[in-house]
Amino acid sequence: MEQLSAQARWERFTERPLWGLAVAFAVAYAVPIVDASAGRSLTAVCTGVEWVVWGAFALDYLVRLALAPHRKTFVRRHWLDLCAVILPVLQPLRLLRLVSTLLLVGRRARMAPQIRLTTYVVGAVIGLLMFGSLAVLSVERESPHGNIRTLGDAVWWSFTTMTTVGYGDHAPTTGLGRMIAVGLMLSGIALLGVVTANIAAWFISRFEKDDVEERRQTEAIAALAEEVRLLRAEVARLTETRRGAEGCAVGNSSPAPGNEPRAS
């Protein structure tokens, strides 16, 4: 049985706790936005939870870096994780903490071998819809010219934006809102491409399996036909041998010439 490295054991040990922290981050991020009447104390608690979750993911990155056998290779392969860790420090905005946490959660999800592609895509779609709706609502609700005032409007806008339909009945008017829109559109196109490629790969795999099965059956039929041909040839040879043996037996049992019985 292959022994796991220290880094792999750490990733397996922290996978579920980090997912729990990600859920806590989602709740802490959503509460002040959904509940517009939330007091300062509740908002401060939610902000603290967001920073704690980000700090946990940052600590996880540092531990994995320390346990990696080749640290330069680890940094080069996980540069997106490093950007997600540094991003909120450069400018302490809630939106940057949201982006960095989503990136880190997504990277850890891809590392988990039991996470299937379909599950990841569905989770990514739900996460983008939820966080995109909350993010655009938080920046557009107080805009004097904004028309995204409720959570329902935000969800509808996120859905039409991700699917690149864009009815135009709701649209962001602030710079941050438009940046969120660009991110959702690009994410929607990317996810659509992943889904299309996954479906195409499934069909190709099915066709390949059918071709392999058809070739196997064709080879089996050809082998059976060859066995039948050999069996018929053997039967024909045995039949000829038997006929020859019977002919010899008949010849040996007939009277020799000159030895025929005389009539009295």
> What pLDDT is attached to residue 114?
45
Q: How far, in Å, CA of 261 to CA of 134, rounded?
A: 124
The residues, any chain, with a CB within 8 Å of residue 197's CB and separated by 6 or more, are none
Give the range of the structural domain holding residue 86, as residue numbers without chain letter: 1-115
SS (H, E, C) 46-93: HHHHHHHHHHHHHHHHHHHHHHCCCHHHHHHHCHHHHHHHHHHHHCCC
Q: How many degrees, rounded to 5, is the angle at CA 10 between CA 6 and CA 12?
A: 120
Inside any domain, residue 221: no
Q: Looking at the predicted structure, is the pLDDT value of residue 18 above 70?
A: yes
pLDDT, position 6: 81
pLDDT in tens, 219-229: 889 888 888 88
DSSP reduced 3-state for 202: helix
Domain membership of residue 172 (yes or no) is: no
Domain count, the chain: 1
Q: For residue 198, what are the CA distances in angstroms to 105, 113, 204?
A: 22, 17, 10
- C-alpha to C-alpha distance for 198 and 204, rounded to whole angstroms: 10
| Residue 106, domain member (yes or no) | yes
Residue 171 falls inside a structural domain: no
30 contacts: CB under 8 Å, gap ≥ 6: 130, 134
Return the pLDDT at 91.
Answer: 47
| C-alpha–C-alpha distance, residues 56 and 113, integer Å | 22
What SS3 class is residue 165?
coil
Q: What is the pLDDT of residues 100-114, one digit of tens each?
A: 666 666 655 554 444
Asked if residue 103 belongs to a domain, the reply is yes
For the ranges 8-12, 119-123, 124-128, 155-159, the maximum mean pLDDT occurs at: 155-159
In a domain, 152, yes or no: no
pLDDT of residue 112: 46
Instruction: Please give the distance of CA 76 from its chain centroid, rounded to a whole number.
Output: 23
Query: Please, what is the end-to-end C-alpha distance for the chain in angstroms?
Result: 102
Q: What is the pTM of this model?
A: 0.55
- Please indicate whether residue 263 or residue 163 has the higher confidence score (pLDDT): 163
Rounded-to-integer distance, Cα 181 and Cα 132, Å: 8
The average pLDDT across 24-44 equals 80
Q: List, as one string, the DSSP characters of 1-16.
A: -PPPPHHHHHHHHHHH
Domain-embedded: residue 9: yes
> From CA 255, how far away is CA 259, in angstroms rounded?
7
Ramachandran category for residue 168: left, alpha or beta (phi over 0 → left; psi -120 to 50 → alpha): left
| Distance, CA of 164 to chain centre | 22
Q: Over 60: is that where the pLDDT of 94 sits?
A: no
For residue 208, being part of any structural domain is answered with no
What is the pLDDT averaged over residues 213-221? Answer: 85
Q: Dmax of the chain from CA atoms?
A: 147
Q: Model confidence over 141-159: pLDDT tens digits? A: 888 888 888 888 888 998 8
Q: Structure tokens of 207?
A: 């066709």
Listed in sequence order, the residues at least 6 apart from 20 whose beta carbon sits closer than 8 Å to its beta carbon are none
Q: Which conformational region is residue 260 in: left (phi greater than 0), alpha (psi within -120 to 50 degrees), or beta? A: beta
The pLDDT of residue 186: 86
